[in-house]
Amino acid sequence: MKVPFLDLSLQHKALREPALAALAATYDATRFCLGKDVEDFEKGFAAALGYPAVLGMNSGTAPLHVACMMAGFGPGDEIITAPFTFISSAWGINYVGARPVFADIEEGTFNLDPAKVAAAVTPRTKGIIAVHLFGQPARMDEIMAIAKQHNLFVIEDCAQAVGARYQGTPVGLLGDVGTFSFYPTKNLGGCGEGGALVTRRPELHTRARHIRVHGSDRRYYHDIVGGNFRMDGFQGALLNVKLPHLAGWTRRRQAIAGRYLREIRLADVRLPDQPSYGQSVFHQFTIRHPQRDALREHLTRREVGTDLIYPVPLHLQKCYGYLGYGPGSFPVSERSAANCVSLPIFPELTDAQVDHVIASVNAF
């Protein structure tokens, strides 16, 4: 039996007719940049997931960039984030001329270790970017306590955690700003690029709204420096078609993860911890094993697709050589990169395919 790591064609085949009808309506109305479809999506997303307001943007990197602009980070400032994440979590720091400072993750959840964050704070520290990696919320109580003590601006990278809650609060509302991605492979994926920004602080929402459209509230009057971070109308229209399915897709991911957690039994395997403060939405299901490469080859032979997410932590990427870190700087991140392998976890997987993944892992 073949189990692809991810097959986006199934979801898109199922939604082909409503998706094309929505695109046609947007095309005919020439609603190409922001506009009614994007506004409807912003309102729908806010209502479905519990946000006061949402701003649609043109990628998941965009709101991270905008958040760093809103925070006023700049040259000489240090912003702490995790080295075990997608590179985009850190890009915004560079875009505003500030310096990424990494703090290691905890073994159990792949998320920032609050003790390591506290140890990384210097007089130049201005902010923290907490990533809710693989759909699992980070330890926000501890992170916010550090932020409060040192007056730091907190950005939550929720790109992989749409729908996740931390002690009942939707991710993105715990810090100052939360950011989402609708890249096609995300839990809520568009047909192209997309992202969003949320904040519990109304004055920051207004500021982000202006930055999104060239620093402008009134056409051709620019009170602050902004950019072009607008979501396009087609993405808004497509996301409106997909949004009603998100809750069901998330439950299916959680059900598959529940089976993996209960039924994978393999010596030396490390399954991800499920702390009681939050509920993961399982963007990935990533396990660790000391013989990761051999395990992966074994799964490939049994036609189980896997991926390495992430093979190289950020502090060992060439682009961040100038920061002066090296092997050994962040042992938990390095060990995770060396030992991790991600298993198939998308809503359209059949129960028989899930059986096959579990049996194949257990047969290693």
Ligand X SMILES: *Cc1c(COP(=O)(O)O)cnc(C)c1O
Give the one residue of 11, 26, 81, 85 binding ligand X; rule: CB under 6 A. Answer: 85
Q: Which residues pair with 221 in a beta bridge?
A: 218
**Whole-number minimum distance, CB 31 to ligand X, in Å?**
22
Complex with ligand X: residue 234 or 360, whichever CB lies closer: 234
- Hey, which residues does 196 pair with through a beta bridge? 56, 180
**Are 77 and 126 spatial neighbours (Cβ–Cβ below 8 Å)?**
yes
Position among 68, 69, 131, 188 found at the interface with ligand X (CB under 6 A): 131
Tell me if 100 sits within 8 A of 81, measured CB to CB: yes
- Regarding 60 and contact with ligand X (CB under 6 A), the answer is yes
Closest contact distance (angstroms) between CB of 265 and ligand X is 30
Binding mask 192-231 for ligand X (x = CB under 6 A): ---x------------------------------------
Q: Note whether 157 binds ligand X by CB under 6 A.
A: yes
Q: Which is nearer to ligand X, 51 or 86 (CB)?
A: 86
Nearest approach, Cβ of residue 302 and ligand X (Å): 28
On the 0-12 / 13-18 / 19+ scale of CB atoms within 10 A, 10 is: middle
- Two tokens at 180? 């989402």
Confirm or reject binding of residue 61 to ligand X (CB under 6 A): yes
Site for ligand X contains 181 (CB under 6 A): yes
* CA gap 110, 328 in Å, rounded: 17
3-state secondary structure of 343: strand
Q: Which helix (H) or strand (E) holds 205?
A: helix 202-212
**Shortest reach from residue 356's CB to ligand X, in Å:** 27
Q: Residues 11, 26, 81, 88: which binds ligand X (CB under 6 A)?
A: 88
Q: Which is nearer to ligand X, 110 or 153 (CB)?
A: 110
Collapsing DSSP to helix, strand or coil, 242 comes out as helix
- Whether the bond between 183 and the residue before it is cis, its omega within 30 degrees of 0, is no
Least CB distance to ligand X at residue 89 (A):
5
CA distance 14 to 29: 25
Residue 89 lies near ligand X (rule: CB under 6 A):
yes
Helices (H), 109-181: 114-120, 140-150
- As a whole number of Å, the end-to-end CA separation of the chain is 17
For ligand X, the closer of residues 61 and 136 by Cβ is 61
Q: Does 160 bind ligand X (CB under 6 A)?
A: yes
86 binds ligand X (CB under 6 A): yes
- Taking CA 302 as the corner, what is the angle to CA 300 and CA 306, rounded to the nearest 5 degrees? 35
The count of chain residues that interact with ligand X, using the rule CB under 6 A, is 14
Encoded amino acid at 99, one letter = R
Q: Which stretch binds ligand X (CB under 6 A): 84-92, 207-215, 312-320, 340-348?
A: 84-92
> Contact residues for ligand X (CB under 6 A)?
59-61, 85-86, 88-89, 131, 157, 159-160, 181, 183, 195
